[in-house]
A and B are shown apart, each in its own frame.
Chain A
Amino acid sequence: DTGVSQDPRHKITKRGQNVTFRCDPISEHNRLYWYRQTLGQGPEFLTYFQNEAQLEKSRLLSDRFSAERPKGSFSTLEIQRTEQGDSAMYLCASSTGQGATEQYFGPGTRLTVT
């Protein structure tokens, strides 16, 4: 257990529905990251926050995706109008400081879109 928790661990939804995932980072970490991982691939960066500010978004993050970290603590990732191609593991990580510091990953939320 790294101290980063994610909820839910698994989500099955029908195409077109909206889903929201939550990530609780290690409490003293001011950086929070979202990644997506499909089968057989390494995780791909989606976006990250420093405190409540969203500092970078990947081109992978389409308009249907939105992430927030309103009080600089937990974060949510929402996917609107889900598509089958959104099926993946969504990973959250947190770190302290800036730059290439160690990131601590949560167990992920596995999304299946039917």
Chain B
Amino acid sequence: DAKTTQPNSMESNEEEPVHLPCNHSTISGTDYIHWYRQLPSQGPEYVIHGLTSNVNNRMASLAIAEDRKSSTLILHRATLRDAAVYYCILRVPRDDKIIFGKGTRLHILP
């Protein structure tokens, strides 16, 4: 399975944008880039996914590099509730299970 590399932790101030990076240099053409997050004492929740083009939804934006070897999850205006572990995951359409890494622990400072 292709792997991703994320910083162990990041800090951001409340009400400011947050850019969470992910490197996936061995990504293949059929790999989708998925992001999940896990709030304290909860199960993971889906955030966003994309293949080649940048994607936006109500939770976040996903910016994908032109060569697809890296991507950035963007939280436009962080709140304290966004403090969580964020997982960047590569998934192929035929694969049903999710392979999680350690993710990035995001701390939001009030």
Contacts and interface: CB of A to CB of B under 8 A. Distances in A.
Interface of A: 2, 4, 31, 33, 35, 40-45, 48, 55-56, 91-93, 95, 98-100, 102-108
Contacts of A99: 92-96
Contacts of B99: 45
A91 B42 CA distance: 9
Contacts of A2: 43, 45
Interface residues of B, number: 24
A105 B43 contact: yes
Given A2-B45, A33-B96, A42-B103, 10 more contacts: A40-B102, A42-B85, A45-B97, A48-B96, A98-B96, A99-B92, A100-B96, A104-B45, A105-B43, A107-B43
A74 B91 CA distance: 26
